Chains A and B, each alone.
Chain A
Amino acid sequence: MSELLKKTLTLLTGSPANSKRPLRKLTARELIELEAEIGGQLFGPIPAGHRREFFCLDEHTWIWHEEGTDVNGQRRVTSTRYEIHDNGILKAQDGKVYKFLEGAELRNLTLAIRLYYEAVARGIYKRDPITGHPLSGTTATM
């Protein structure tokens, strides 16, 4: 839509239609960054100098990224990708054998995914995670 047309519509109809939905202005990447910040906090306080992100990359993929300094003062960076397949969740980590999650590790990831959903639904999208309805008296603003 051209800028001229947008301005014309604004003059005719008032505010742009998406003014009540400011999140629409954010790109998919920016939404992911917002979510990743909340996702990283699910695992407890983040130590100083440490960076942790956990986010949903797409409909089938989760990313856990962690940066920090180990006890020997070495900088460590770990990125893990979790792919959801029909037959299991595949864990892919640099330099390691891919494997399907099972048992406690699968349960921990599942728990994190659920808590992530609830946290971003309320914290970013202002939705009730159970019903999906907008939280009363709020609009999705950031």
Chain B
Amino acid sequence: MSETPTLPISDKKTDLIAQNADRILNDPRANAEFFEQARYQLTMEQPPRFEQLDLGTDELPSDTFWEEGTPEASAGAERIEEAKRPVTHAEQLEQDLMYYTDRQLLAYAAANTKAVWALKHLV
């Protein structure tokens, strides 16, 4: 009980970078259909040699290069589901504060404390 209590959202100790990556993947501006398709698996045992690739085209080197696979019920899928969950205001605020220096955090805390105190004088 000696540490400052943390908010429930802090208990997850989530990796902010990974979280942001998931958010980008979940961005509605991205091609949503792409992420809804089944995962693709690399079926060729050996990748094509560099000189075999036709660099003049955007097409894949062969039709069998990629094959549609069965999506796995993996932790990755869970993370995608987690990323689809709307970010709460508290979580958004926590993420914003991640980029604050201690000096900025102090100023922010002081300003909000004064704001709380001012509320009492409005009644």
Asked whether any CB of chain B lies closer than 8 Å to the CB of A113, the reply is yes
Of chain B, the residue at the smallest CB distance from A61 is B113
Q: Tell me how many residue pairs across A and B have CB atoms closer than 8 Å.
A: 115
Could you tell me the distance between the alpha carbons of A84 and B105 in the complex, rounded to whole angstroms? 11
Could you tell me the distance between the alpha carbons of A59 and B115 in the complex, rounded to whole angstroms? 9
Among B6, B90, B97, B115, point to the contact of A110 (Cβ < 8 A): B97
Residues 36-54 of A, flagged 1 when their CB comes within 8 A of B and 0 if not, give: 0000001110000000101
Q: Interface size (A, Cβ < 8 Å)? A: 54
Tell me whether A115 and B93 are in contact (CB under 8 A).
yes
User: What is the interface of chain B mostly: helix, strand, loop, or mixed?
Assistant: helix
Least Cβ distance of B106 to chain A in Å?
A: 6
Q: Do A88 and B4 form a contact, CB below 8 Å, given A113-B112, A115-B93?
A: no
Asked whether any CB of chain B lies closer than 8 Å to the CB of A14, the reply is no
Tell me whether B119 and A43 are in contact (CB under 8 A).
no
A-facing residues in B80-123 (Cβ within 8 Å): 90, 93-94, 97-98, 100, 102, 105-106, 108-110, 112-117, 119-120, 122-123
Q: Name the residue in A52, A76, A88, A114 with the highest tally of chain B Cβ atoms < 10 Å from its Cβ.
A: A114
Tell me whether B5 and A120 are in contact (CB under 8 A).
no
* Contact size range, B: 20 to 34
Residues 35-65 of B, flagged 1 when their CB comes within 8 A of A and 0 if not, give: 0000000000000000000000000000000
Of chain A, the residue at the smallest CB distance from B103 is A88
Q: Do A105 and B5 form a contact, CB below 8 Å, given A89-B109, A111-B97?
A: no
Asked whether any CB of chain A lies closer than 8 Å to the CB of B75, the reply is no
Residues of A within 8 A of B10 (CB): 104, 108, 111
Of chain B, the residue at the smallest CB distance from A93 is B2
A–B pairs, 9, beta carbons within 8 Å: A28-B120, A56-B113, A56-B116, A89-B106, A106-B105, A107-B98, A114-B93, A116-B112, A127-B122
Would you list the 4 A-B pairs with minimal beta carbon distance, nearest first?
Answer: A23-B123, A44-B8, A110-B109, A78-B1
Q: Apart from A24-B123, A110-B97, what are 5 other A-B pairs with CB-CB below 8 Å?
A: A43-B7, A59-B113, A84-B110, A107-B100, A110-B112
